[in-house]
Amino acid sequence: MKLKKMAIGVSLSVAAMGVSADNPKQNNEEYIAFFDHTLSIEERLDDISARLTDKEKGNMITLWNEGVPRYGLKSFMPGEALHGLAAPRNNAATVFPQSIGLAATWSPETMKRMGDAVSDEARAQYHNGPVIRDGKRGPLTFWSPVINIARDPRWGRTQEAYGEDPLLNGVMASAYVKGLQGDHPKYLKTAAGAKHFVANNEEHNRFHGNADISEKQLREYYFPAYKQVVQEADAQIVMTAYNALNGEPAVTNTWLIKDILRGEWGFDGFVLGDYGSILMTTKGWKDRGFRGHDIYDTYVDSAAAVLNAETLDFDNTRIFRDEAITAIKQGKTTSEQLDRAFRNTMRVGLRLGMFDPEDMSPWKDLPFDIMTTFKPLALELAEKSMVLLQNEDIDGTPLLPLDKSALKKVAVIGPNANTLNFGTYSGTPRNPVTALDGIKDYLGSDVEVVYVPWQGSNNILSAIPMDNITLLDTQGMGVWQADYFNNRGATGQPIASNNVGDIDFNWTGSKPHSDIKDNNSYSVRYTTSIVPPQSGLYTLGFESLGANVTLNVNGSTVLRSHGDTNKRLPSTVEIELDGEKTYELELYSMRLPRAKGHELMFGWQLPQVNSAHAGQELAAAKEADAVIAVMGLSTDYERESIDRIAEGLPREQTDMLKGVVEANPNTVVVLQSGSSIESPWLKENIPAILQSWYPGEQGGAAIANTLFGDNNPGGKLPLTFVKSWSDLPAFNDYDISQGRTYLYFDKEPLWAFGHGLSYTEFAMSDLKLKSGKVAKDGHIDVTVTVENTGKKAGDEVVQVYITDMFERSEKPKQRLKAFERVSLEAGESKQVNLSIDVNDLAYWDEKTKGWMLGDKYEIRVGNASDNILLTETIKVE
């Protein structure tokens, strides 16, 4: 097909090109094959690739730029949809439970329906929402879901993941991706992005960390969920991690991206790095206040490196728009490499229909007012995510569900009772329901609800007294050591050092030290060591103006602020400190360019020992028929950039509960968290414990419905609750065979992977295999009968594990290989049929560099990893 040169020198929209579903050549406009939707995607890419300059291609694969005006091409818009539409947040959208709670549903069918709902809202916003920027109404490409496996509860982003098991992770993520992308034969509904590839499990060193992992464990544990999402769900986007894998940053790791992702798995979408990750391979990145991999001398070299490695196709900074073009001109990379990245990205845009007439979109008529209308589904998912950890008898009867008719007064207490923790990457809900709201709405005027507000810190910070500082000067006084740098990243050797008694400075119009050359480009590092005066929950914090500030405790980042050039910002974090331990503190203040000034104050607030609210809660507990204590964590303790630094509940919460449960044994604890709560004391002393995760906008209604029996909890733990972090390997040890997850954990758990109780009882029987033998290329067909032997309708999750009945290296205790959530009326029974591909039983043999099958396996069926009820063996021939 012969193409003509474009002779029109004005910006053209697709409609102005004369392109329609009926006749792409109408109105005598020049025929441009790229806009001809009747052609194949590759033919269309051939056309546009031949037309655009390198600079224009760079614009199309870089966020937030003009695109290519002369062809009316708008650049891609970023989006987040981790547990609901979260971009842009000024448009209200339905907020579903956080990912870890979604995993606790063990219900991929419901996950897919959630994906359908989120993509409905995305399309409604894209077609009919208000213009956000550059003529765009909303994104169709999403950097979700997170499928990094939750191998350690200390990871701050455990809440964003789907648990510790590869199969559960892959099945749940794949179901969501299928819902997001839709099943239209021609167009993607949205494009989903799996992140962060791979082994991104530490926040304190997220920019510069290195994960040493054998190929065996990558293949068996860290890769499977990504592979399933790519091959089964056809995810269109993959985001690489900040960290290095076996010494090579993920963004330049050819083996990881080109050989595995594209070569072995057949991925043909586009790959992007986590925000700024290309820059972080550059040595000069430290000058911006971050730590990176320090490999390449300039951004031009970094741009050339990722293109030559054939890893990244899309850039979320400006490096493909600018530095990549310079690299091509300097001969460090080629136009062909840029074109490869451009085609990979544009291929996804064409599948979305971004460059076809909008009236061809199957979703063009979804009204904008569909936003926030999926509240029933949000409630259903929240209810399904509830995990009943414990339900002991009180006077011969399980405490839960609470009997509304037997109650006159209920006390509702705890830090999470009247607040909603949505978790990270959440959108903006409309009319969300807190636990207190849900309980009040459920009980109405029939039962008195006494709410005791949680009295948190008063946000008054004071300097750490010298008596508590163990770094002493020559006079024996407790001090901070201040190190000064002539760069913004606190890198290299300090140009000067001195001691200060506390941190409360205003350098506006001056500089911290006379040896600093430039008032606008410097940084200061403060270090000291302290012994707290008592054990408890402290508030550490700073106020800053004109600086990027980071606080580390014992080498882990606990608080970070990117600062503001115009106003003073407060930042605080609550942290458990032991009065018998020494803590190393580091505070970095890195000057922002063009800031109006530079101010910094640091301090702490002591734990509240005999706070007023404790007395109020005890009094309320004594007078109430039942106590509902909504406890747990929040994003103050766990989130992106902040790993957890203390296990279990904050001590302040445990101390309060000790008095409450003694005053009223009818105490229910509702836990909200994005990871496990390691508290043997809770298990030993609290009769009823409900894990509600971060349950989304309808969380309060779901909690109330569960506590009072309208919802029979059927959720199961997607990760092991250990008794103590001391039972775990080192945080930075990625070798799971050393006692990590239910696969290899060799201690008694607090609650096991797959655990979850019900208000009814179930029995499993009649485990049958289609045959006692199976071919290597066959399937294992498993049937089991599940019966609800109790008096209340409920859900049970049939979990099928396998154990290798032969010797091999790094053999796990058992592996989850199939599961199904089953709903049963009281007295009802169902036969559940499950199928396992024999190839899924294989293990990676490092000697042959290939997959191997054993000859004999045990099929283990139960309702938790530690409650196996039925077993059979099968031979593979």
Convert the pLDDT of each residue in 425-458 to its tens digit: 999 999 999 999 999 999 999 999 999 998 765 5
CA distances from 185 to 112, 351, 352, 597 (A): 18, 10, 11, 57
Q: What is the pLDDT of residue 564?
A: 84
**Helices marked H in 777-862:** none
Q: In 606-761, at which residue ranges do the beta strands (DSSP E only) sit?
A: 626-632, 667-672, 688-691
CA distances from 611 to 240, 605, 649 (A): 47, 13, 18
Query: Degrees (nearest 5) of the Cα angle 310, 312, 315?
Result: 145
Share above pLDDT 70 across residues of the chain, in percent, rounded to a whole number: 95
Q: List the beta bridge partners of residue 600.
A: 505, 544
Q: What is the pLDDT of residue 478?
A: 86
Q: List the beta bridge partners of residue 751.
A: 721
Q: Does this chain's domain 378-450+610-625+654-666+682-744 share its CATH topology with 762-876?
A: no
Q: Is the pLDDT of residue 42 over 90?
A: yes
Residues 6+ apart with CB under 8 A from 149: 161, 163, 164, 165, 166, 169, 201, 221, 222, 225
Average of pLDDT values for 482-493? Answer: 91
* Confidence label for 768 from pLDDT (cuts 50, 70 and 90): very high
Contact 418, 436 (CB under 8 A): yes
User: Which of 3.40.980.20, 3.40.50.300, 2.60.260.20, 2.60.120.260 is the CATH number of 466-605?
Assistant: 2.60.120.260
**CA–CA gap between residue 464 and residue 873 (Å, rounded):** 63
**CA–CA gap between residue 716 and residue 755 (Å, rounded):** 5
Q: What is the pLDDT of residue 9?
A: 32
**CA–CA gap between residue 393 and residue 373 (Å, rounded):** 40
Q: What is the pLDDT of residue 457?
A: 54
- Give the residue carrying structure tokens 């001691």: 499
Share above pLDDT 90 across residues of the chain, in percent, rounded to a whole number: 78
Sign of the C-alpha dihedral computed for residues 411, 412, 414 and 418 taken in this order: negative
Q: What is the pLDDT of residue 507?
A: 84
Query: Degrees (nearest 5) of the Cα angle 539, 500, 562?
Result: 50
Residue type, 647: E
Which residue, among 851, 839, 845, 857, has the nearest Cα to 777 in the 3D structure? 839
Contact 471, 480 (CB under 8 A): yes
Contact 585, 551 (CB under 8 A): yes
**CA–CA gap between residue 866 and residue 582 (Å, rounded):** 38
Q: What is the pLDDT of residues 605-649, one digit of tens each?
A: 887 654 445 579 999 999 999 999 999 999 888 999 889 988 999
Domain boundaries, the chain: 140-315+333-368, 378-450+610-625+654-666+682-744, 466-605, 762-876
Strands 244-245 and 210-211: what pairing? parallel
Q: Is the pLDDT of residue 16 over 60?
A: no
Grouping H, G, I as helix, E, B as strand and the rest as coil, residue 128 is helix
Q: Is the pLDDT of residue 775 over 90?
A: yes
Grouping H, G, I as helix, E, B as strand and the rest as coil, residue 797 is strand
Q: What is the pLDDT of residues 358-402, one digit of tens each?
A: 999 999 999 999 999 999 999 999 999 999 999 999 999 999 999
Q: How many CB atoms within 10 Å of residue 556? A: 18
Q: What is the pLDDT of residue 562?
A: 83
Contact 604, 391 (CB under 8 A): no
| Minimum mean pLDDT range among 172-176, 458-462, 845-849 | 458-462
**Helices marked H in 182-298:** 215-217, 224-231, 254
Residue 837 bears catalytic tag: no
Query: Degrees (nearest 5) of the Cα angle 141, 146, 148?
Result: 145
Grouping H, G, I as helix, E, B as strand and the rest as coil, residue 309 is coil
Q: Is the pLDDT of residue 108 over 90?
A: yes
What's the longest Cα–Cα distance across the chain?
Answer: 89
DSSP state of 642: B
Grouping H, G, I as helix, E, B as strand and the rest as coil, residue 669 is strand
Q: What is the pLDDT of residue 4?
A: 32
CATH 2.60.40.10 matches 762-876: yes
Average of pLDDT values for 120-143? Answer: 94
Q: What is the pLDDT of residues 284-323, one digit of tens each?
A: 665 555 578 989 999 999 999 999 999 999 998 889 999 9
Average of pLDDT values for 93-109? Answer: 98
Q: Please tell me the CATH code under which domain 378-450+610-625+654-666+682-744 is placed.
A: 3.40.50.1700
- Give the residue carrying structure tokens 């909890």: 713
Q: Helices 41-51 and 335-352, interaxial angle, to 10°?
A: 130
Average of pLDDT values for 666-689? Answer: 98
Average of pLDDT values for 487-499? Answer: 91
Contact 861, 868 (CB under 8 A): yes
DSSP state of 218: I
**Which residue of the set 120, 165, 274, 356 is catalytic?**
274
Q: What is the pLDDT of residue 606?
A: 82
Give me the torsion for CA of 299, 302, 304, 307, rounded to 10°: -130
Average of pLDDT values for 560-573? Answer: 86
Q: What is the pLDDT of residue 652?
A: 85
The CATH architecture annotation of domain 140-315+333-368 reads Alpha-Beta Barrel (3.20)
How many separate helices (H) and strands (E) can be counted in the chain?
Answer: 18, 35
Q: What is the pLDDT of residue 12?
A: 35
Q: Is the pLDDT of residue 163 over 90?
A: yes
* Confidence label for 496 from pLDDT (cuts 50, 70 and 90): very high
* 709: exposed, middle or buried (Cβ count in 10 Å: 0-12, 13-18, 19+): middle
Q: Is the pLDDT of residue 11 over 80?
A: no
**What is the H or E stretch that residue 659 is in?**
helix 651-663
**CA–CA gap between residue 659 and residue 618 (Å, rounded):** 7
